[in-house]
Structure 1
Amino acid sequence: MPPTSKRQKLAKNARAHIHDSGSSSNTENLPLTPSNSPPIRGRPPKNTKDRKKPVDEELAERNDHITELKVLISDADTDILRLETSLATLQEAHDALLGKNKTMNTTLSLKRKAETSYSEERTRARKRIRRLERDRDTKAQTNAAAAAPNARLHAYENDTHTTALTNALCRKQDLLNATQKQLYASEKREKRAQLSYKTMKRAYDELRVWKPTESGEFTNVSRELVRNLSYTGCAAGKVAFAISSCAKAFGIEIRGRLMSARTVGRVIDEGGKYGELQIAREIMEAEVFCESSDGRTHYGLTIEGRHVTLRVPSYAPDADNSDKSTWTTQTRFVEVVHALDHTAQRQFNGTVEMATQIADTYSRSPLAARERRTMDKNHYWRKKLAESKDHAANGKKAFRISAEHKKDIIIHDLGRVAMDEADISTSHILTTILSITDEDLAAEGKLTAAQLSSLSTEARSLLVEDVLERKIGEDRFDALTPAEQSNKCTHFFGGCCCHKDLNVVEYGYKSVQRIYSELDNVQVPPPVLLANKANAATITEGSKDSAAVQNAIDSSTSGGIKLQLIGSLLRHKDGERGYQDKATIFIRRRKFELYSLDEPSKFPDVSNTRYGCYTYAAAEIVCFHGIIQELVTEVINAKTKSGPENHVEKNVLKGLNCAVTMTELVALALYGVSVSWPYMATVRSTKDRPVNLLSLTDLHRKLPLFCAHIAANPHTLLDPTTLQDQLTIDGQPFLDEFLLVSIRQLQPYLRNPFLMISRMFAGCETGWIIFTPEFHIGRTIARLTPEQLATLHVPVTNDCSKGILGTFKGHTKYRPNSTPHSFTNQTRTQRNNTEAFIKKCCDRKDKKYVMREVRKDGMGQKRAKFQREWAKLQREKAEKALKRREAAALKKKSRASRLAAT
């Protein structure tokens, strides 16, 4: 509340004085006494002059009081005018700063109403005063005696009116005080509004202006923005244009230079280098992890993709990374890299090179210096407990090489620890050193005798130390129990579950194919032969006993496996060949017309081998073979030259009309609906809730038993009374109930359906036994410790590594100049949550280190080195093949000459 002004104090004192004088002069309310009682009528007044004088004095006093009130009122008017001027000034300032202030407008409206009311009251008071003055003068001139009562009455009225004016003045003063308080509050709000406005304007100015650089160096924010734009598909040369265009659209001013295409490439590589630090640190922090890898050819060269699965922190700003209970299982992308070939040894060498690189990158970093630790290349193998690969021979061989390498590292570790202990004698160490031979050194260093002799003294000493560690470590390792040895060298192969099922289907179908060679062709006739165009011409035109015809028959295939014919006709992998969308539209329309089925009708992609595609395609043909025949016939009739079908169409129609071929398809479809589809639905998982292969032991032990039961009782699948848990591997209803209805309708036309079904499931039983050895009783998973089972997570599929290779193929389709290195750096940053790691764990020193490393690496040199090595390897392969052919030709020529001589 503002302090009381001097004029307010003066007005307050005047009101108090008026109140005191009014109360002392108000005698009309007093009881009549001889001194103040009116004269009695009929009696002459006593001493009239003496009685008139007090009345005049009293009127004079009243006039004085009225004059004083006028003065006070005049002062109040002056104060009000000054307040009005001050209020107007404040109002103008307030309007200029805040504009439309509704609260102030309301206050000013009240003030104006108060001023108007006060002005009207003051005018009426002046009129009353002038009227009273006129009445007083008139009545004073007429009769003083008669004027006395009237004077008293007027005095009383004046007192009453004065009191009313005083009260009105008090109310106006209170209103003025309230108005001043409101003005004071408005001034405070105005100041706060000004401060808020300045703060908001400052923040707006900061947001409106974006500076990509700081002290001549691009900020972390601009680097992250560039990496994100690049990941979304923005070309390096268009990043600056994209940023400036967005800034212009958003009303943001860019102060400073933007990145060039070369700098963008380096910033992307910096993200990849940060990713190396992240992977190395996470491996150091993790207790165990699993490695996944796969390979394929791309433009004639081999590329390999690698992932690791382990428990990692979230890197959230408010998360405690040291609390491992908050960590989650994630699959981290490591790299896509060129390889000379996909042999087992090359795969192993690639993993060693990758582990060495991330260990070296981390150990030399400021991050490792702050954490006071380093990572050697063997740390990767100590933490790796499992590998997830396809069920390929080279993958399993690479796994065995990796397991031997890990055992070698464990033995060296045991030897190193034993040498550091005090209980081992110096004499034993010296004896072991003396027992080391040149053969041991050559075997340890994988050197020839010439290379060993050319070693320097220091290098030879290091090699002797390694051999010493190995020999002492072998003694310590042999002293362990078999269980302890197995625990220390834990390293098992977790094959991709989808590849397991893919291979099992192949085993099952091969078992079906053996029926025709094992049984009489009359009892079980083979399916119709579906030869290709060349073989069909040879078979048709040649004689039956000719070798060419027999060779054409032997090289031709038949049966349900020829589904690729229908796949190439309905959904060829080349979008310009086959029926494509014509088949989709026709089949979908006919499904709805005949069966009221409104579902996607793209034929399963058997042209590109997909998981479960053959069983899904078999089910599609069994259910809708009539629609497919109708489609092929309609397309043939709709051709420009109506009538002749091409060779593929002819084979498709022959296969659909063959009862044995349809029976094989029924066996494939029944295996899919009862085992394959529910199995893949169980093992496939989402990114947020991954399934651990170690948790599927019961399922994989049940699979051979279930297949054996169906092989022994094939009729149960088509028996409506069979219990649900005996029909599918997961005990759930069939995923395709329409398939069972279609098979029952086809059953009278099928040839030996239960024999085919039995053989199919019997072959699958064998396949599941072969491809699930890790789940057998007493095998790898059963030997894991509870701690290992609790911490190790093995992916159920190898989709991550196989998928990343497909992603790279799609990436290079639209970015033909991209390399595996640039793709790795870009993808690693985005998939591994590397930006959050940078913000959480890295500082300016790490940024400087990463920038130096990226500019020092020079991928052009690595690419040139790989090209030289590949050219050398290709030349060596060509020379070896040429020598082999020359030797074979020479041997053949020598044999021919010997035969000619005899």
Structure 2
Amino acid sequence: MHCAIIEGGVAAKIQIADEIRKTQSLTISGDGTSLKNVHFESAFLTYTVLPADGDHSPSDPLAITNKLQLRAMPVLMVPNHMSQEQLNGWKYRFVEMADIYNWSPVGIDNPLSLDEILDKIKGMISDHANDQKHLATLFEKWKLDVDREARGRQAVMSMSAAEQLKFCLYAMELNLADVGGYANWEALSEAEKKHRSEEAYRQAIHELGEHHFASLTRGDQRWSNLFLWAGCGMHKEMNSVKWGARSMERFWSGSQVRELGAVAPIPLFNKENAAVIADEMASTSKTRAEQQTSHGGMKTTALAGAIFRNKYEKKGQQDNFQWFFTSVLGYMVQFPDTSNTRFGSHCDAASELLVHLTIFIEFLNLIRNAKDKGLFTHMELNVYNALHDPSTLTELATLSLYSQAISHPYMGFVRGSASRNAMDLGSYHKAVVAHCKKLAANPELLLNLGSPSETTLDGGNWERPEAVYAVRCLYQEGKLPFLKDVLMAFFEGAVESWGRFMTEFAPGGRIDQATPEERKAAFVRLTNNHNEGRLGKWVTAKRKAPSLSLDVWNAKTMHKDNHTDEWLSSNTTPALDQFLAQEARLQDSTGTMCAQHARHVQEQHERVARNKERRRKAAVNRVACAEKLSAYTPTWTLLIGQHSVMTETSRRCFPGFTPHPGSMSCKFRPALRSLEWARMAGSWH
């Protein structure tokens, strides 16, 4: 059974390579997570498959006719989440896949090369983290380098024997020039000579490839270099909520609040900080506790999620919560999963708290009075107090209204169809920004006057009308007196966020200048949910079966998710069946997972060595700076027009001044406390 599962994984890799060979273009996507302090990277390909008998030019993107395919690649265990390590993972996947395919009966007569794969990759989608943007840059550079080297090798193969000899002499000249002459070359070790010879030959090949690339038409050059990046739509919305929440926080600390007479949301101290605040003698600790403590709507929804739907089975009030609400409402209520990372959960939790505000307060009183001492836990007390605080309720109302006007329509759009291309959404995101600006300028549309067609992004109905009605009721009763101002601040922050996280659609950018055919060739889905879902499946599978190996899970899920059975039904042969069995047994006998575990341990040792060296250098630098600072005595010279004015001013402003007799200047030697002071003083001398 074990080998049979691995056979399915081998077949899935051959299937992907066979489809790549036939397709016009493809795009990549990936994401990462950690499980028990071990990093894992997911990867997917998106492409369309041409008919088996199709004969289309590789420069004609309109030739794509079949439906889009989403193909899962192996999840890899990696030492870290750095961009270079992620790029190494892509290299490993493509090289392994091409090797297996070229050895198989399917690909032995129609081999697939690495440069052919990379030439067809035209786009990428990921989240907006800096490491992902850097990965896109590294991947594009790798793609172009491989392309130029492939063109250079093709040019060498087309040369005559004399031309090839001349080319080798040119590479040798580059090598000798790099080391400074023949004498220096002879002084090198054999290993160093071999390494430098390979690098010089690769450099010469690359230059030859660049020369060949320059001879192509402008259209062929553009098609060869095409690589577009787009960010995940779900992360755009999530970041807009984060930035809106930050804008709300800045509002409470701004001058406008003092003019309005508003009061910031109550701080939700944890148990330790609450004890410090209650201690009248702890003045310094109080300041630290206040700085570390959060408040407001986002903190309230997080605490409420930990009580009403905790991610740990032994904590929280999940069952009591559901049974109580069923007894009151007649149906079960599931609190949004803010205890885990879920898109839109905090805004949905805000809506839930406001719609059933009195019932939540009643439930909190119930669980308090059901205890022997009749007391809240500290977390329960924080939530109870927050639900009675007008400013916290104002933030909850703002989160709820934003979700109804922007979040739910936007998430419904980006999740609604797998056939929409993220590269075509520049105008849509401009409409999102315009709608946010409209509501920021006229929040009364949400608070009093506006119908769903005027307030929602798509002009449709609210996702949860009762949440909007609950907010409007509280506002009209005067319980949320500063909601209008907070709502304006939130939407202004959201506008700033949308502009920051849609830079790929900027006027004059790559996507903006790409033709419709190029954007179609670089098709990516609107979200990166498929990668996040795949990683979630791996975490869940590992929790259920701790001894499950990654190789077996990859083989099983790739075979199922990629519909490899359908591909095998039209491509299987006795020779392929024999190859799958042999390759599966070979992979099973090589101990791949043991090698990965050993590599992980080795990387940890190397990381320890790097950290020790970094700390040693930092300590040496600190000692050197301290010695330099202690030996440094700067002199400031101030030239002033009149000596009497200078002396009087210096004595009043700088008691350390010592006037120089008979001079139009004075010197001052301050007690420097940092090297920056020393540098500043030296520059003022």
Residue 129 of structure 1 corresponds to none
For the pair 1:553 / 2:290, whether they are aligned, the reply is yes
Measure how far apart 1:841 and its partner are: 0.9
**Which of 743, 746, 750 in structure 1 is aligned with 2:471?**
743
Change (3 A) 1:486 1:516: farther
Structure 1 residue 787 corresponds to structure 2 residue 517: yes
Q: 2:140 aligns with which of 374, 396, 403?
A: 403
In structure 2, relative to structure 1, the CA distance for the partners of 1:519 and 1:870 (3 Å cut) is same
Q: Deviations over 1:492-541 (max 9, x none)?
A: 22221111111111111111111123225533321101010001111111
Question: Residue in 2 aligned with 1:380?
Answer: 117
Mapped to 2, the partners of 1:439 and 1:713 lie a distance apart of 69
Answer whether contact 1:701 1:776 (CA < 8 A) is retained. no
Q: Counterpart amino acid of 1:266?
A: C
Aligned residue in 2 for 1:648: 379
Q: Structure 1 residues 879 and 434, CA, compared in 2 at 3 Å: closer, same or farther?
A: closer
> Any residues of structure 2 matched to 1:709-858 within 5 Å, and which?
709-720=438-449, 722=450, 724-747=452-475, 748-858=478-588
Whichever residue aligns with residue 541 of structure 2, its letter is: H
1:381, distance to aligned residue in structure 2 (A): 1.4
The 8 Å contact of residues 432 and 471 in structure 1, kept in 2 or not, is answered as no
Shift of 1:654: 1.2
Which structure 2 residues correspond to residues 658-737 of structure 1 after superposition, within 5 A? 658-685=389-416, 689-720=418-449, 722=450, 724-737=452-465
1:332 has 2:68 as partner:
no
Partner of 2:668 in structure 1?
Answer: none
- The answer (yes or no) to whether the contact 1:441–1:464 under 8 Å persists in 2 is no
Mark the CA change 1:650 to 1:268 in structure 2 (over 3 Å): closer, same or farther: same
Query: Helix, strand or coil: the match of 2:524?
Result: coil
**Distance in 1 between residues matched to 2:242 and 2:91, nearest whole Å:** 34
* CA separation of 1:682 and 1:440: change in aligned 2, threshold 3 A: farther
Other-structure match for 2:309 = 571
Q: 1:379/1:543 Cα in 2 relative to 1: closer, same or farther (>3 Å)?
A: farther
1:289 and 1:383 in contact (8 A); partners too: yes
Q: Relative contact order, CA 8 A, sep 6+: which one is greater?
A: 2
Quick check: 1:615 aligned with 2:347?
Answer: yes
Distance 1:809 1:839 in 2: 31
Other-structure match for 2:661 = none
Local SS of the residue matching 1:331: strand
Write the distance in 1 (CA, Å) between the matches of 2:188 and 2:559: 46
Structure 1 distance, partners of 2:414, 2:179, is: 48
Instruction: Give the aligned partner of residue 514 of structure 1.
Output: 250
1:881 and 2:619 matched: no
Matched position secondary structure for 2:324 = helix
Counting aligned pairs with the same residue, the percent is 27
1:37-59 alpha-carbon deviations (Å, 9 max, x no partner): xxxxxxxxxxxxxxxxxxxxxxx
> What are the within-5 Å matches in structure 2 for residues 155-174 of structure 1?
none
| Superposition map of 1:288-687 within 5 A | 288-312=25-49, 321-322=52-53, 327-369=66-108, 372-416=109-153, 433=171, 436-437=174-175, 453-456=191-194, 463-477=199-213, 485-519=221-255, 522=258, 523-543=261-281, 546-562=283-299, 563-592=301-330, 598=331, 600-641=332-373, 643-685=374-416
CA contact (8 A) 1:309 1:332 kept: yes
Report SS of the residue matched to 1:367: coil
Q: Is the 8 A contact 2:448 2:472 kept in 1?
A: no
Deviation of residue 893 (structure 1)?
6.6
Residue pair 1:441, 1:463 contacting (<8 A) in 2 also:
no
Distance 1:700 1:452, change over 3 A: farther
Asked if structure 1 preserves the Cα contact closer than 8 Å seen for 2:172 and 2:200, the reply is no
- Equivalent pair of 2:115/2:147 in contact (CA under 8 Å): no
Contact 2:549/2:593, CA 8 A, preserved across alignment: no
Tell me which residue corresponds to 2:17.
280
Distance across 2 between alignment mates of 1:413 and 1:331: 28
CA RMSD of aligned residues (A): 3.0
- Cα distance, 1:846 vs structure 2: 1.3
State the partner residue of 2:640: none
> Following TM superposition, by how much is the alpha carbon of 1:488 offset from its aligned partner in structure 2, in angstroms?
2.4
C-alpha distance in 2, partners of 1:751/1:531? 25
Is 1:308–1:331's contact at 8 Å kept on the other side of the alignment?
yes
SS at match of 2:110: coil
Structure 2 CA distance for aligned equivalents of residues 612 and 823 of structure 1: 30
Structure 1 CA distance for aligned equivalents of residues 134 and 507 of structure 2: 23
Give me the whole-angstrom Cα distance separating, in 2, the residues matched to 1:463 and 1:751: 70
8 Å CA contact 2:228–2:522 kept in 1: the answer is no
The residue type paired with residue 343 of structure 2 is: Y
The secondary structure found in structure 1 opposite 2:457 is coil
DSSP 3-state at the match of 1:292: strand
**Displacement of 1:854:** 1.8
> Separation in 1 of the partners of 2:536 and 2:467?
33
Distance 2:28 2:376 in 1: 51
Q: Could you say what secondary structure the match of 2:92 adopts?
A: helix
Distance 1:471 1:887, change over 3 A: closer
Worse overlay, 698-707 or 788-797: 788-797
Aligned to 1:142: none
Structure 1 residues 718 and 846, CA gap change in structure 2 (3 angstroms): same
1:293 is paired with a residue whose SS is strand
Q: Which amino acid aligns with 1:706?
A: H
Query: How far apart are residue 862 of structure 1 and its match?
Result: 2.3
Q: What is the DSSP-based 3-state SS (H/G/I as helix, E as strand, rest coil) of the residue aligned with 1:702?
A: helix
Please give the alpha-carbon distance, in whole angstroms, between the structure 2 residues aligned to 1:839 and 1:701.
46
Answer with 1 or 2: which has the greater Rg. Answer: 1
**What is aligned with 2:683?**
none
* Structure 2: distance between partners of 1:717 and 1:482: 52
Q: Is the 8 A contact 1:288 1:383 kept in 2?
A: yes
| Higher normalized helix content (fraction of residues) | 1
Q: Name structure 1 gaps, 5 residues minimum.
A: 1-263, 314-319, 443-448, 593-597
Tell me the TM-score normalised to structure 1 length: 0.63
Letter in 2 for 1:739: A
The answer for unaligned runs of 5 or more in structure 2 is 55-62, 181-186, 632-670, 672-685
1:225 match: none
1:324-359: CA deviation from partner (whole Å, max 9, x where unpaired): 877321211111121111111110001001100001
Moved more, 764-773 or 785-794: 785-794
**Structure 1 residues 321, 469: CA separation in 2 closer, same or farther (over 3 Å shift)?**
same
CA distance in 1, matches of 2:426, 2:441: 24
Distance 1:484 1:671 in 2: 46
- Displacement of 1:803 after TM fit? 0.9
Shift of 1:755: 1.3
Q: In the alignment, residue 356 of structure 1 is paired with which amino acid? A: V
Give how far 1:792 is off.
4.0
For 2:429, the aligned partner's letter is: H
SS in structure 1 opposite 2:311? coil
Which residue identity does 2:255 align to in structure 1?
A: L
Residues 308-333 of structure 1: CA deviation (Å, up to 9, x unaligned): 111137xxxxxx74468773212111
Distance in 1 separating the partners of 2:420 and 2:617: 54
